[in-house]
Structure 1
């Protein structure tokens, strides 16, 4: 017969009665869990925001801040919303149990708490926490933190909303030729290194990489979460990307490989941001003329022999704080009219 195994965790026990705290702490500790204690709800919230816990055991009738108020605060806090809570209280009445459940509690155990039942409830709650964490980790592998947060707070729905943001496109120049000269394993290693560097620069300045196709990527600054000075952040990220790729290219050349250069196109303006696809498979992206313009600017970096090209809206948003060179009106491929193009100078 297979032996049943249970996950241990870090628990916070909140009760204003010292005897209850001591007895419950001893019992929970004997089950193999780590236990911290708090004597009121206000102190408990402070501890929850300072440390990471797997489960909260919460009394209701307490001074400073009662259990209902703690649950309400946790329910409205995205960082605490998913923390499992087991209420342990002597407060009677079905309406109190219902209120706790509606505020997000996993369970309600009446005092004096049955030790066997408490053990079962703790094990069940920790398993739910493990599954939630695993689900969150899985989402984070296939969606950025910002998109994951947007889904957690707003839910998933196909469609979009109008936003003012900045879009960046980037790719490796001459990548097709490099693929022909290297093994598949070498190409994958090159792409992984490239994306590591690009993600660091983009994410570090508030951008969100939402598409990767081969050596090309698309990033958004200003959606799904608002970002002050999104145009300046995008340009600053572009400059970091160029600097990092120059250093990486020097290392490649020293190892006897081909040098690497990237092209970056950036445009600022109104666009539609949201989820496109189907209910079964969707992605977060932006669409609109601003997005198309950024893609055309990136493609034009090859002809212009410039690393970063930006549109007039991005240039104006910089307010002269970044050195640029006007390339004049340019008729970009796919555009009916010429657009003012600027090169960013490193």
Structure 2
């Protein structure tokens, strides 16, 4: 049985000389690449924005838009700035080479280009791109789409920034007893289903789940990407979570399995959000009194026997759009003064 062939790599050649384009394209096709050509920088950019390529071979001296201008455009375009670029030019001088490298080019080869050297440089550039693509895929797989987007737009840097947002904590009530009453495989299956449903409810309202510990989770609304009306979004997400759990319980009841209940605490206010840890291992999170308050409200759902508890700031943000019930001032662990607590009426 024949082994499946690797997909062709797609290369774009940008050169104003028709002869150079044809010769280079023919040589690259013989090496097993799929090649398209552009007669100047403007056309090359149009093709790059319309289609997907693995590497760009770029001349510098071209009409309408030269190679330097193309490199500047690529650097300023998030979806194109990681595209490998090998400059092939007859321009002499170290200053031109340095400028191309500073603008993001992988390499600079003088014309006439040595075919063996070009093949080696293309191979090395494609391997670097493959590793970068793998890294991006890992980020997309193990981080939320919002965190992945923030990393692509802003890059990675330890530290945080002050912002106003909403924090949610949630966990399953009586989870320890549930774990003791069933096989481990059933517990894993339950958690996988539970988290899939909770992620759907939270992400559907613009929230970002940034921590999962056992049966508990923490979510942020308003970071890393801005979110208007983040307080109401968090409460709507919590109501969606409760509805998801009710549907899950109906299914579990039909299978003769125990129902589950959740408790949700939500607080709105100032916090510091960013990446914490080391450059080798970091996570996106937020810290501050707002975070602590949300955690304490989630704890208090057990005492109050209510599913969703919110603080005054979140209540104000609702503007009466979602019914709530004032439970009165409550002395929460770690808080010097009692906090007015509201229960969301679901």
Calculate the TM-score normalised by the size of structure 2: 0.90
Query: Where does 1:295-334 land on structure 2 (aligned, <5 Å)?
Result: 295-334=295-334
- Runs of at least 4 residues of structure 1 off by over 4 A? 5-8, 151-157
Question: Contact conserved, 1:7 with 1:126, CA < 8 A, in 2?
Answer: no
After TM superposition, the structure 1 stretch with the greater mean CA deviation from structure 2, 132-141 or 151-160, is: 151-160
Q: Corresponding residue for 2:109? A: 109
Number of equivalent positions? 342
After TM superposition, the structure 1 stretch with the greater mean CA deviation from structure 2, 296-305 or 147-156, is: 147-156
Q: Corresponding residue for 2:76? A: 76
Change (3 A) 1:313 1:97: same
* Whole-angstrom distance in 1 between the partners of 2:280 and 2:109: 39
Q: Corresponding residue for 1:146? A: 146
**Deviation at residue 107 of structure 1 after TM alignment:** 0.9
After TM superposition, the structure 1 stretch with the greater mean CA deviation from structure 2, 102-111 or 130-139, is: 130-139
* SS, match of residue 329 in structure 1: strand
* SS, match of residue 271 in structure 1: strand
After TM superposition, the structure 1 stretch with the greater mean CA deviation from structure 2, 218-227 or 147-156, is: 147-156
* Whole-angstrom distance in 1 between the partners of 2:40 and 2:194: 50
**Deviation at residue 119 of structure 1 after TM alignment:** 1.6
Query: Where does 1:239-318 land on structure 2 (aligned, <5 Å)?
Result: 239-318=239-318
**Deviation at residue 129 of structure 1 after TM alignment:** 0.5
* Whole-angstrom distance in 2 between the partners of 1:22 and 1:325: 74
**Deviation at residue 166 of structure 1 after TM alignment:** 0.8
Q: Corresponding residue for 2:221? A: 221
* Whole-angstrom distance in 2 between the partners of 1:262 and 1:88: 62
Change (3 A) 1:46 1:322: farther
Query: Where does 1:86-125 land on structure 2 (aligned, <5 Å)?
Result: 86-125=86-125
Change (3 A) 1:307 1:10: farther
**Deviation at residue 185 of structure 1 after TM alignment:** 1.3
**Deviation at residue 206 of structure 1 after TM alignment:** 2.4
After TM superposition, the structure 1 stretch with the greater mean CA deviation from structure 2, 239-248 or 117-126, is: 239-248
Q: Corresponding residue for 1:51? A: 51
Q: Return 5+ residue gaps in structure 1 as ranges.
A: none
Deviation by residue 1:208-242 (Cα, 9 ceiling, x = unmatched): 21111101011111222222222222222222222
**Deviation at residue 35 of structure 1 after TM alignment:** 2.4
Change (3 A) 1:45 1:317: farther
**Deviation at residue 40 of structure 1 after TM alignment:** 2.8
Question: Contact conserved, 1:328 with 1:342, CA < 8 A, in 2?
Answer: yes
Deviation by residue 1:38-82 (Cα, 9 ceiling, x = unmatched): 333233323323333221122222233221111112112222221
* SS, match of residue 212 in structure 2: strand
**Deviation at residue 180 of structure 1 after TM alignment:** 0.7
Tell me the C-alpha RMSD between the 2 structures. 2.3
